[in-house]
Structure 1
Amino acid sequence: MPRLMLTDDSWTLLSRIMSLTGRVYNKPEHRMTLEGILYRMRTGIPWRDLPKEFGAWNTVFRRFNAWLKKGLMMEVFQFLNRFNDPEWLFIDGSIVKTHQDGASVKAPSEQAIGKSRGGNSTKIHLAVDSGGLPVYFELSGGQVNDVIHGESLILGSPKAKIVVADKGYDSQTLRESIQHKGAQHVIPRKRNSKQGNEDIDWCLYRYRHLVENAFLNIKKYHAIATRYDKLARNDQSVVALAFALMWLPMWVD
């Protein structure tokens, strides 16, 4: 039997959330379907190679695809992260390589696939709360500059008192946007800046590793560390599921 990821308590919680969305009926077989999705996410194998213990691979894939069309994984993630601690908000972006099979799609830019130094890639733009737990994310092509998604990350996240980011978000426009929302910013300026960084709270800035830790947490899943999905919708849902798993320990003793 392949190694499973869900405890009885975890599945009870997830099945209840899935039912509350009104998009999925509560059926016992859904547990092994979700375990199959998690197994594929963890190992990165093709759907056809899914062990038989999870059921017929095409049945698992059809349910997976149906759930994604309904936005189920995003709803589960949003439900779990609603009790966040937004006093501090840390934002950052991280690139993942897109596999050649995932990149073989028409209009790749529309599927959040772009060309960066490493070839075809996707960038995950993420915001985490004071405890380092994910609260909002977006996808883009790997060549997109972090600061372009800075304002939308803040708009999509809970209102924070302080926003912390690295030099990649060095933009006066972004700073003014943060201040307009009633928050402070801790964003170092680049070396060629005339103003300097005397006003930066370096003690708080050191906690920026929390958002980097979140990326490390989800990149242990092979299907996220390397993108195999052609559609941005599918990749977004897989990432949302991985972030939802980070929240489970906060709900399940």
Structure 2
Amino acid sequence: MARYDLSETEWQIVEPLLPPHGLGKKRVDDRRVVNGIFYVLRTGSPWRDLPERYGPYTTVYNRFNRWAKRGVWLAMFEALAAKSPQSLHLIDSSIIRAHQHAAGGKKGVRITIGRSHGGLSTKVHALVDQDGLPIRLLITEGKASDKTIAPQLIEGLPPAKALVADKGYDSWPLVALIARTGGSANIPTRRHVKNKRVVPPELYRERNRIERFFCRLKQFRRAATRFDKLARNYLAILNLASLRIWLRHVESTP
């Protein structure tokens, strides 16, 4: 087995999540193609530089692109994320530099790349659970406000007992939304706010779990730098990286 390929345990989890074969021509070896996609994800290599052992790069790329369009990668990630007890939610964001080749998409196509002081960038918004495992990911332009995106991160999810975030998420509408879902907002207030919100120090320290998640996410070089023009495809890359993080967790759990 080549480096970065799925282990036997991982493949046993992934295979049932793949779309069923259609009535037409049978798909090329699923495991080989999926391993090729994970190779590009982990190494950051251009699709054209894919090693020959994974077959024609056009086959691997077309499968990635087609399934990204159909939402297959998202569905696979969500299938594993649904296993989380979600007793604790932690939210945060991280700026991702966009490669110059990621800019210049066609007009009318959702790109989600913004220009800021650091250049072209995309912001990844994430919600993780008590184990630092990803539950939901969103992307916006780099200059987007965290607190305005936060409601989309928690919308439709089972309410956690507590949600932890930093001062950038200090917003009474967000706090009220969390309360309406039956959770507790543990978000420190900003300096100029008179009525301070008390956050237990031991709970606030749990924020390191989402910081560690972003560190693991950026070990996948295709996620650490945005090369994809389409927001859909870059979000698929993030979903695949999150899927692999979940697979490793499941494999290592007795």
Normalising by the smaller structure, the TM-score range is over 0.9
**C-alpha displacement of 1:156:** 4.2
Q: TM-score normalised to the size of structure 2?
A: 0.92
Looking at structure 1, the residues matched to 79 and 3 of structure 2 have their Cα atoms a distance apart, in angstroms, of 27
Q: Return the alpha-carbon distance in structure 2 between the equivalents of residues 102 and 122 of structure 1.
A: 10
Partner of 1:212: 211
Please tell me whether the aligned partners of residues 21 and 27 of structure 2 are also in contact (alpha carbons under 8 angstroms). no
Q: Which one-letter code corresponds to 1:130 in the other structure?
A: Q
Matched, 1:245 2:237: no
In 1, Cα distance between equivalents of 2:51 and 2:4: 12
> What letter is aligned with 1:76?
M
Letter of the aligned partner of 1:207 in structure 2? E
Give the aligned partner of residue 227 of structure 2: 228
- Name the CA shift for 1:4/1:246 in 2 (closer, same or farther; >3 Å): closer
Q: One-letter code of the match for 1:47?
A: W
Percent identical among aligned pairs is 37
Alignment-mate amino acid for residue 242 of structure 1 = A
Cα distance change of structure 1 residues 26 and 191 upon mapping to structure 2, 3 Å threshold: farther
2:169 corresponds to 1:166: no
- Cα distance, 1:5 vs. partner? 2.6
CA RMSD of aligned residues (A): 2.3
Who is 2:100 aligned against? Answer: 100
Question: Which residue of the partner structure matches residue 151 of structure 2?
Answer: 151
The CA deviation at 1:157 is: 3.1
Deviation at 1:242, TM superposition (A): 0.6
Bigger drift between 63-72 and 166-175 goes to 63-72
- One-letter code of the match for 2:221? H
Displacement after TM superposition at 1:177 (Å): 1.1
Spell out, residue by residue over 1:127-178, the C-alpha distance to the aligned partner (whole angstroms, 9 max, x if none).
Answer: 1111111111111111101111111111143311111100000111111111
Output the CA distance in 2 between the equivalents of 1:246 and 1:115. Answer: 30
Q: Which moved more, 1:227-236 or 1:7-16?
A: 7-16
Q: TM-score, normalised by structure 1?
A: 0.92
Contact 2:4/2:42 (8 A) holds in 1: no
Map 1:10-159 → 2, pairs under 5 A: 10-19=10-19, 29-107=29-107, 110-159=110-159
Amino acid at match of 1:143: K
Unaligned residue ranges in structure 2 (runs of 5+): none
Aligned residues of 2:109 and 2:230 also touching (Cα < 8 A): no
Cα deviation for residue 126 of structure 1 reads 0.6
- Cα deviation code 1:167-206 (max 9, x no counterpart): 0001111111111111111101111111234x22121000
Q: Which segment drifts farther, 219-228 or 107-116?
A: 107-116
What secondary structure does 1:132 align onto? coil
1:14 is displaced (CA, Å) by: 0.5
- What number of residue pairs does the alignment pair up? 252
Residues 107 and 163 of structure 1: CA distance in aligned 2, closer, same or farther (over 3 Å): farther
CA distance in 1, matches of 2:196, 2:139: 32
CA gap of 1:21–1:73, structure 2 versus 1, over 3 A, is farther
